Amino acid sequence: MSWDKRYSAKHYVYGTDPNGFLVENFARLPKGKILCLAEGEGRNAVFLAQQGYHVTAVDSSAVGLAKAAKLAQDQGVDVEFIHMDLNEFDLGSNEWDGIVSIFAHVPEPVRQKLLPGIVAGLKPGGVFLQEAYIPKQLEYNTGGPPTVSLMYSKEILQSGLEGLTFERLQDLEREIDEGTRHSGMAAVVQVIAIK
């Protein structure tokens, strides 16, 4: 199913509340410019804007971003939304105080370009914050991509994010309640890493 089709549901398919890991750890992000990857319907970008960050959110779905823009308007915050595939998006160099990736699962060729791009794109002292599904998630069937090739692992992240110092790199199982598409016990990897 295409992301445009998925997001064309009337409701917010991943809810309007921010991701729990982000809520617990957003204060690790330096105040300033934050980039949200594959931000979809905008719940995490809007939350960060409410906390006083200057947020840019990129996603390949125009339908998702239209809902994200409405959510930002409803909450009275400004977010810059960019409609672009992550494979085409240039993260720049020493550009961002923080980069946030919440369940931003991309094909392996895109990931091989994206992870070094995150390292390059962060300013010195910048923080990368990520929660993503790991292959064990397929046993739960409570959300996320249907194939292992789209999942993350500690090994993939350690090699792809070379140049960052990991403050947290942890596999765990936790209950997730994020709209109709992420609901139930899940197997994830959580990352807090600093340039």
Q: Distance between CA atoms of 86 and 89, rounded to whole angstroms? A: 5
Averaged over 120-131, what is the pLDDT?
A: 98
Angle at 41 between CA 54 and CA 2, to 5 degrees: 135
15-39 pLDDT, tens digit each = 899 999 999 999 999 999 999 999 9
Rounded percentage of the chain residues whose pLDDT exceeds 90: 85
DSSP conformation class of 21? H
The total number of residues written for the chain in this structure: 195
DSSP conformation class of 28? G
Kindly report the average pLDDT of the chain as a whole number.
95
For the CA atoms of 154, 172, 131, 168, what is the dihedral angle to 10 degrees? Answer: -60
pLDDT band of residue 48 (cuts 50, 70, 90) is very high
- Report whether pLDDT(56) > 90: yes
Looking at residue 1, its pLDDT comes to: 61
Looking at residue 141, its pLDDT comes to: 84
58-75 pLDDT, tens digit each = 999 999 999 999 999 999
128-142 pLDDT, tens digit each = 999 999 999 999 988
Give this prediction's pTM. 0.96
The full set of domain ranges for the chain reads 3-194
Looking at residue 45, its pLDDT comes to: 98
Nearest by Cα to 146 from 160, 133, 130? 133
Q: In whole angstroms, how large is the CA radius of gyration of the chain?
A: 15
Averaged over 165-173, what is the pLDDT?
A: 97
In which element (H, E) is residue 129 found?
Answer: strand 122-133
- Hunting for tokens 């992240």 — which residue is that? 157
Query: What CATH class is the domain 3-194?
Result: alpha beta
- Report whether pLDDT(98) > 90: yes
